[in-house]
Structure 1
Amino acid sequence: MGLINKIIPFKRGVIKEWVKKHPRKVLVSAILLLAYYFCLPKDLFVDPTATVIESKNGKLLGAMIADDGQWRFPEVDSVPFKFKTCIIQFEDAYFYRHPGFNPISMAKAVAANIKAGKSVRGGSTLTQQVIRLSRKGKKRTYWEKAIELVLATRLELRHTKEEIIGLYASHAPFGGNVVGLDVAAWRFFGLQAHQLSWAESATLAVLPNAPSLIYPGKNQGHLLQKRNRLLRKLFENGILDHTTYEMALLEKLPRKPYPLPKLAPHLVHYLARSHKGERITSTIDKNLQSNVNVILNKHYQNLKQNQVHNAAALVLDVHTRQVLAYIGNTPTDKDHQKDVDMVHAIRSTGSTLKPLLYAAMMDAGELLPDMLVPDVPTQIAGYRPENFNEDYSGAVEAKKALARSLNIPAVRLLQKYGLERFRDQLNAFHMKGIDKPADYYGLTLILGGAESNLWDLCKTYASMASTINHFNTSSSEYFDQEFTNPILIKGHTIDFGRKSTEKTIFDAGSIYLTFEAMKEVNRPQGNESWEFFDSSKEIAWKTGTSFGNKDAWAIGTTKDYVVGIWVGNADGEGRPNVTGVSSAAPILFDVFDVLPKSDWFEKPLDEFVSVEVCRNSGFLATKDCPKKTISIPDKNNYVEACKYHRMVLLDQQKQFRVNSSCADISSSYREPWFVLPPLMAFYYKKSHPTYKNLPPFKENCKNALEPTMEFIYPKNNAQISLTKNFEGNLNELVLNLAHTKPETSVYWYLDEKYLGQTNDFHELGILPTTGKHTIMAIDELGNEAKISIQVK
């Protein structure tokens, strides 16, 4: 130990002395060392790369070519064993034993080239070839070889052997505009690199040495010889057994390039906006993506017969908010905008916002599920909404109005709730396209007057579904960032925010009741599309159709999944019979059929209380109506008590109403009666045969208590000739009615078609066609007057 302590200071002294004597040598050495250290660029390769999108299991979904027109994928992390073995055996058998160059191979190459008088053999290692690939365009000179040798040794110091062979596999040329192993495997064999056989790996291993050999019809024999020589070497070195070797020799060479997968071309372009040139592992389920593509293509073949060329589909996982399938358009052509991504295209929302209004009113305590909503001819400030089927129900339960997507009840509910109030509430959903004030949309907001896209609508429905799930799986709590964007990149997670007992937008009970209404199947509207519905699956779903049949929507949700479908023409051309029910819903249910079955939502019990409502009207119960008990969200309730039940007095035979002026009240029967206003009753009883009009008063009672009315003009059975004015146009026939109480509202009908309403002054102008007509007037108390006329 003492000897060592003496030697170390001695050596230090010698070194110091030598440095003092040779300062120039030290300076030159330091400069050379620094030059050597920094001689290798930080990034060897700066070429643009393709944008590559893979499924969550690493399967290629699609790619977008690099900016320089080369199919060059981003660098790989690892090289498959078969290809790595083949390339080492073919190019550099001592790869794992040399420091970046092989002096023996170099000497042999120089000797062979001198003897032949030309370059017939190369002595470059794989490391040197990586350097040469990075210094593209340099002439193959001995000086360049020397530079490559120095850089190769520096590369060996900076990278591991596995990283070096990865650089080679990522940047080696494979013929044409194919660069790198991953692209070559797809283009020449239609496989991922790790799926290649020994023969396929050997073929690709010999190609960078002579990439022109791959062109179909050219030098196939030469390529086959090179491949088979390599396979022979693998066999002789004990890497392949005899059977594997013989089988490999039988494999044929590629004859034509394969196209890259195009399972999600619009997703590739969408992600390329923010991840250009990157390899992205997405959240897409490849099998589901393939299945939905097939479903969409099948329906597209039928849709295009009606000159409908575009459609889109989106599938979300409610729990993780991952996008599981993303189909931006059909496989149509450029003339029909095949490249337009309809998942993000802004389109009219149709009726898809109706569930939000239903949930908003339920959440505000201003609506009950069974509450009757008027469905009658309506005019509000000159706006006359119409139901899609141009019919009326008179009165309909709120939940059935939503399930049947009736327009008139939706407009009336929006007016009652408040247009500006609802418009402001929509801001919380962050839906692109809905960016104008309430006055711009008017009441058409709820019928498609607004615009948004499939992405945001599906996001909204998924957030509502997740609200229920989180409420039930937590201590009846909400997350303050529940309504957030879905994710497309694997590894990203949703931050739902902090838990709170305060609702985010709508409470879980209101959303649950909304979904309950949306899953109704037995709907009195008929068989519009319910034949597509598998009753074994409980799905809350909503369709929508924009004005002019330009957009057809269908969005459905279960506890686990949200599926959204849009159908139409990207250029905005409307087509007959393009509706959410007939065009989008069949696709929706076909997609749900390939998804795992989901259980229905658990009822968020902590959000509910029981209340009594009138059985017939759905309003809060009064003493005059038959009652039933329902569960509603626990909040201040602003729904009024039932106004559609009244207590009436009947005679002993229960045939007539009576009062104190014509009967002994003590011997009369008191009975609650369900009475709708005349206009609502007129349409309601057509689909409700059990609805009973109020019995008439006894003749000696009625005049004392009920107002009467009579036609002033025209009289019953009158013959009318319509005259022309100075412009040659027909003058209107003016109907005139007298009422004992003029302030009473009167509703007019021509041949049972509603004409309008009058108040105070009961006059109405009409232009009837030639022939016989029936004119009927009904006042708000149910009194009726009817005449017949003949128009000449």
Structure 2
Amino acid sequence: MKIWRWKKKWLVLLLSPFLLFLSFLLADKLYPLPVTSQRTTQTILAENGTPMWRFADEHGIWRYPVTLDEVPDYYLEALLGYEDRWFYHHFGINPFAIVRAAWQYVTTGRIVSGGSTLSMQVARLLEPHDKTLLGKLHQVFRTLQLEWHYSKDEILTLYINRAPYGGTLEGIGAASWSYLGKPPSQITRSEAVLLAVLPQAPSRLRPDRYPERAQAARDKVLDRLAEFEIWPPEIIEQVAQQEVWVFPRKTPQLAPLLARRLSQQYPRQPIIRTTIDASLQYTLEDAAMNWKNRLPAKSSLAILVVDHTDMTVKSYVGSIDFNDNGRFGQVDMIRAWRSPGSTLKPFLYGFALDEGIIHSESLLQDIPRVASDYRPSNFDTGFSGPVGAAESLLRSLNLPAVQLMEIYGAKRFTSKLYQVGLRLQSAGGEPNLSYILGGAASQMDQLVAAYSAFARDGKAAQLRFMPTDPLIEKQLMGEGAAWVVRRILSGDGRPPLNRSVSDIVPLGWKTGTSYGFRDAWAVGVNPRYLIGVWVGRPDGTPIVGQQGRITAVPILEQINGILMNRELNQYRPLPTDPKPDSVSSVTTCWPSGEVLDKEDPNCHRSQRGWAINQMIPPTLDMVSTLNNPTYRAGWLKIWVNEQGLRVAADCSGAIEKQIALWPVGLEKWIQPNERRSTLIPQMDQDCPVPGESNYSQLLVTGIINNQFVRALPGHNELTLSLNSQGGFGSRWWFLDGELIDTLREGAKLELTLTKRGVHNLLLLDESGQIDRIKFTFE
């Protein structure tokens, strides 16, 4: 019996470790380590690694995770030498350290040194416990779990990223940036020792508040390093002579709206490195603040700068002041849907050039018109008549753009932009002519990205916010069309006579002003950068007098100056944009748009411009006159007799003659000797052209130009009975710029006047002809 009892005791003794181990495994399964239970904090970095913005966890704690490779070896030496010299040799609990700490407490009556290892400290950081025996046992259990699941390097990594550093800082990464303004990899030995000891009493030793205490604690660590000969004496002596001094603690606050955008896009990524140039971002945020007081109340400002050589975003200013609620500072206007005004026009001209619809000096018509229930007018309410394509784009004339849009097709235009990521939205949802003048909404980031086509040989590329983002691009137009449009936007749209074309293109820009002065735009392309500027009120209320050229262009030019000075100071060669082989200089003639000898009587005006692949298209006409041979522009073949009168082709002595006709809508803007009444000979009544319907000029009848009219005595109003003569189709009557009636051909207009003063009457027909009368009602 005694032998059995003795065997039983030994059996229990032998099985106890195994049972304890099984109990540990069961407890480990039931109560896993809470390593991942805390919400990951996020830090948004600039291109150089500088933190721009941080997102703390639910307790306001900020961590900046680093790896062991990102901290100096001498920091780890100081940390382990002071905290746990046997870290790599024990199993998480150092019994010798516990015995030593207990003996010191018994003999001195106070705590001389702690018995906790780094593993035990990590366990306490992950799950704080009460300072009781039960709490200590809980800490021991968690420590054993750490040692079971993680390597020593992984545990050390957990410590350096979770150690408290005062206030809302955890980890050496957050502490190094907050106190020292640099990454842990760049800290000095003195700073390394300081950061090693701060977690012992982070609030009491905060170096920004108590530098003397912090220095005393640092020196205590140096003494320990000297005692155990971890560092050479001469190094310790040098470090001891350095005073503890740190920056006032500050929170990274740069590019907040980009930070929010990327945080929403990558919610589980603790470190997000961007392509932002930190110094440029600081400069442009300061510039935005300087502009703040010059802009009307409740106005905001957005700036986007992109390096078009690789499409990396270098600056992102989403609002004028993130902290100004009165200016809706937390609304990101780079992502907001706003009317782009005229900033879409370069794409339309590029498409038209690319497909041979126009060349750079093609004749377009800047005249009043009515089309599809939309009656645009130029922004300055004036009309230029005949204009070249380059001039109409450079001056941002509306009516030539509408003429091109009508020929090219609004749906086709919108679809091409959509394919490269530039989406357009409108209330009706159906693309129409108004899109080219800002009748649809777009977003700045997509708009600026699409402008990259003018600097990247016609390929539009997506923005890259992070270095890991791939470069994605798609052909939007040919490289020749992109090159010509970029030259036009830079003010150098005509081929030079006696000099070569520079490969470096200066700043080219396009403005935009939305209806009601709600949005002012300027989008620019300089040798290296795309620049987008938007000014307006985020709530969409108008600002009277706000225009892209007046409001946004000065900001654009200031930014361009900053960027080009940086290029100069960095001694970086500027990217070039040489003329493609597909582009050539041509000299054409108006009105035909073709190449003619200058002495040819049909060459009324000689124009020098750029053509793509030698495509020289004839002059465009309006859609309204293309189906009407009588009013169509271009070449007219006639036969004349010896007296120069027009005759039928089979008449005796008939001579064939080609006449180049201007578009009929330009009759009021061209010289008298260029008009149809001069160019087309009178009919010879002895041998007339059978079935010929002669062109007839549109005229207002019932009042003459510069006439003074009066009401009858005792009457305050006057009714004029007006009619039209000549022309074609329906007539639109405008008084002082406002449409007052639409009548069929031959119908009279009864115009009642009540307002005295000078009035301007304009009559427009379907062929595009106009007649203008200025009169005074006394």
Q: Check if 1:324 corresponds to 2:322.
A: no
What SS is found at the alignment partner of 2:541?
A: coil
From the superposition, tell whether residues 425 and 574 of structure 1 become closer, same or farther in structure 2 (CA, over 3 Å).
same
Equivalent-residue separation in structure 2 for 1:783 and 1:338 (angstroms): 50
Q: What is the aligned partner in structure 1 of residue 274 from structure 2?
A: 282
Please list, as runs of the form range in 1=range in 2, the aligned pairs for 1:488-637 lying within 5 A after superposition: 488-494=465-471, 504-520=475-491, 537-558=505-526, 560-593=528-561, 594=563, 596=567, 598-605=574-581, 608=582, 614-617=588-591, 619-621=593-595, 625-626=602-603, 631-633=611-613
What SS is found at the alignment partner of 2:200?
A: coil
Alignment length, in residue pairs? 721
Deviation at 1:347, TM superposition (A): 1.1
Would the aligned equivalents of 1:558 and 1:598 in 2 still touch at CA under 8 Å? no
Deviation at 1:562, TM superposition (A): 2.2
Q: What is the aligned partner in structure 2 of residue 101 from structure 1?
A: 93
Residues 21-41 of structure 1: CA deviation (Å, up to 9, x unaligned): 999679637625745986994
Q: Check if 1:84 corresponds to 2:84.
A: no
Would the aligned equivalents of 2:361 and 2:610 in 1 still touch at CA under 8 Å? no
Deviates most, 632-641 or 774-783:
774-783
Equivalent-residue separation in structure 1 for 2:434 and 2:144 (angstroms): 73
Q: Check if 1:380 corresponds to 2:371.
A: yes
Deviation at 1:424, TM superposition (A): 3.7
Q: What is the aligned partner in structure 2 of residue 260 from structure 1?
A: 251
Deviates most, 596-605 or 19-28:
19-28
> Which one-letter code corresponds to 1:372 in the other structure?
L
Deviation at 1:70, TM superposition (A): 1.5
Deviation at 1:557, TM superposition (A): 2.9
Residues 580-609 of structure 1: CA deviation (Å, up to 9, x unaligned): 22222233333334154643434443xx38
Q: Check if 1:315 corresponds to 2:314.
A: no
Q: What is the aligned partner in structure 1 of residue 720 from structure 2?
A: 733
Q: What is the aligned partner in structure 1 of residue 629 from structure 2?
A: none
Within the candidate set 118, 123, 127, 1:126 is matched to: 118
What SS is found at the alignment partner of 2:485?
A: helix
> Which one-letter code corresponds to 2:92 in the other structure?
G
TM-score (norm 2): 0.77
> Which one-letter code corresponds to 2:486 in the other structure?
F
TM-score (norm 1): 0.76
Q: Check if 1:177 corresponds to 2:150.
A: no
Would the aligned equivalents of 1:714 and 1:736 in 2 still touch at CA under 8 Å? no
Q: What is the aligned partner in structure 2 of residue 434 from structure 1?
A: 425
Deviates most, 710-719 or 220-229:
710-719
Q: What is the aligned partner in structure 1 of residue 178 from structure 2?
A: 187
Equivalent-residue separation in structure 2 for 1:444 and 1:784 (angstroms): 22
Deviation at 1:154, TM superposition (A): 5.5
Within the candidate set 720, 729, 738, 2:709 is matched to: 720
Q: Check if 1:31 corresponds to 2:5.
A: no
From the superposition, tell whether residues 36 and 636 of structure 1 become closer, same or farther in structure 2 (CA, over 3 Å).
farther
Would the aligned equivalents of 2:451 and 2:460 in 1 still touch at CA under 8 Å? no
Q: What is the aligned partner in structure 1 of residue 498 from structure 2?
A: none
Within the candidate set 433, 444, 447, 2:434 is matched to: 444
> Which one-letter code corresponds to 1:380 in the other structure?
A
Residues 384-426 of structure 1: CA deviation (Å, up to 9, x unaligned): 2121222211121122212221112112222232233333444
Residues 511-565 of structure 1: CA deviation (Å, up to 9, x unaligned): 3333333222589xxxxxxxxxx99752442221111222122222356532222
Residues 280-337 of structure 1: CA deviation (Å, up to 9, x unaligned): 12222323333333443343343x3x33631122223334333222221222612211
Equivalent-residue separation in structure 1 for 2:45 and 2:121 (angstroms): 29
Equivalent-residue separation in structure 2 for 1:58 and 1:709 (angstroms): 70
Deviation at 1:708, TM superposition (A): 8.5
From the superposition, tell whether residues 226 and 25 of structure 1 become closer, same or farther in structure 2 (CA, over 3 Å).
closer
Equivalent-residue separation in structure 2 for 1:407 and 1:340 (angstroms): 31
Equivalent-residue separation in structure 2 for 1:289 and 1:782 (angstroms): 51
Please list, as runs of the form range in 1=range in 2, the aligned pairs for 1:350-361 lying within 5 A after superposition: 350-361=341-352
From the superposition, tell whether residues 787 and 448 of structure 1 become closer, same or farther in structure 2 (CA, over 3 Å).
closer
Q: Check if 1:682 corresponds to 2:668.
A: yes
Equivalent-residue separation in structure 2 for 1:23 and 1:180 (angstroms): 44
Residues 59-104 of structure 1: CA deviation (Å, up to 9, x unaligned): 2222122222222334545433453333223322343444433333
Deviation at 1:186, TM superposition (A): 3.0
Q: What is the aligned partner in structure 1 of residue 7 from structure 2?
A: none
Equivalent-residue separation in structure 2 for 1:230 and 1:174 (angstroms): 17
From the superposition, tell whether residues 327 and 599 of structure 1 become closer, same or farther in structure 2 (CA, over 3 Å).
same
What SS is found at the alignment partner of 2:119?
A: helix
Would the aligned equivalents of 2:639 and 2:657 in 1 still touch at CA under 8 Å? yes
RMSD of aligned residue pairs (Cα, Å): 4.9
What SS is found at the alignment partner of 2:612?
A: strand
Would the aligned equivalents of 1:84 and 1:165 in 2 still touch at CA under 8 Å? no
Equivalent-residue separation in structure 2 for 1:461 and 1:716 (angstroms): 47
Equivalent-residue separation in structure 2 for 1:342 and 1:90 (angstroms): 52
Q: Check if 1:64 corresponds to 2:50.
A: no
Would the aligned equivalents of 2:710 and 2:718 in 1 still touch at CA under 8 Å? no
Deviation at 1:750, TM superposition (A): 8.8
From the superposition, tell whether residues 335 and 752 of structure 1 become closer, same or farther in structure 2 (CA, over 3 Å).
closer
Deviation at 1:109, TM superposition (A): 0.4
What SS is found at the alignment partner of 1:466?
A: coil
> Which one-letter code corresponds to 1:130 in the other structure?
V
> Which one-letter code corresponds to 1:462 in the other structure?
S
What SS is found at the alignment partner of 1:450?
A: coil
What SS is found at the alignment partner of 2:456?
A: helix
> Which one-letter code corresponds to 1:449 in the other structure?
G
Runs (5+) with no aligned partner, structure 1: 1-18, 469-481, 497-502, 524-533, 686-690
Deviates most, 545-554 or 149-158:
149-158
Deviation at 1:47, TM superposition (A): 1.6
Deviation at 1:234, TM superposition (A): 4.4
